[in-house]
Structure 1
Amino acid sequence: MSAAIYVDPQAVHPVIDGEWHRLTGVLKPGQAFTTLCGLSDTATFLPLSERRTLGIPRQCDRCDVIYRRDHGIPLQQDRIGKKRA
């Protein structure tokens, strides 16, 4: 018997050079992947407690734009400074 660990792919954000990215599916350790913005790397898994050891990761702007466009969410720059009716 093996243990199943269920992972929400929308909650998995690989951090590359201090930026977190979005993925299109679930990763396995050692699996190569490509982010929404086109970066490729190999998956490794670390405890959540180590996430900020090298500073707080920031969101990849390119992944954010692609994700928002694909899901019909207004881009951040389109929401800033707009007055509500």
Structure 2
Amino acid sequence: MSAVIYIDPEAIHPVIDGEWHRTRLTGVPTPGQGITMLCGATASAAFLPLNQRRDHGVPTACPLCDSIYRRERGIPQQHTRQAR
């Protein structure tokens, strides 16, 4: 019997040097597989438990990945959003 685990590739945010990125994944990458981020950065996939995510500080978002992601989806850029 198998226990199926469903993973949304859009919810995968690779972290490089403390900065999380966005990428166009169609599935879960295999360990060591090369990944290209929206900003053009590349890295090999590696996996760690979620509870280790902040062991080296809190990751911040890559501004270029965020800008590209928002533009592609028609989401206003952070600097153009109006405060409520």
* TM-score, scaled to structure 2: 0.87
Structure 1 segments of 4 or more deviating over 4 A?
A: 1-4
Residue of structure 1 equivalent to 2:79: 77
Q: For residues 63 and 4 of structure 1, what CA distance do their matches in structure 2 show? A: 31
Distance 1:83 1:48, change over 3 A: closer
**Structure 1, unaligned runs of 5 or more:** none
**Structure 2, unaligned runs of 5 or more:** none
Distance 1:83 1:43, change over 3 A: closer
Q: For residues 40 and 4 of structure 2, what CA distance do their matches in structure 1 show? A: 29
Could you tell me the percent identity over the aligned residues? 57
Kindly indicate whether residue 76 of structure 2 is the aligned counterpart of residue 59 of structure 1: no
Paired residue total: 82
Residue of structure 2 equivalent to 1:6: 6
Equivalent position amino acid for 1:11 in 2: A
* TM-score, scaled to structure 1: 0.86
Q: State the secondary structure of the residue aligned to 1:23.
A: coil
Equivalent position amino acid for 2:19 in 1: E
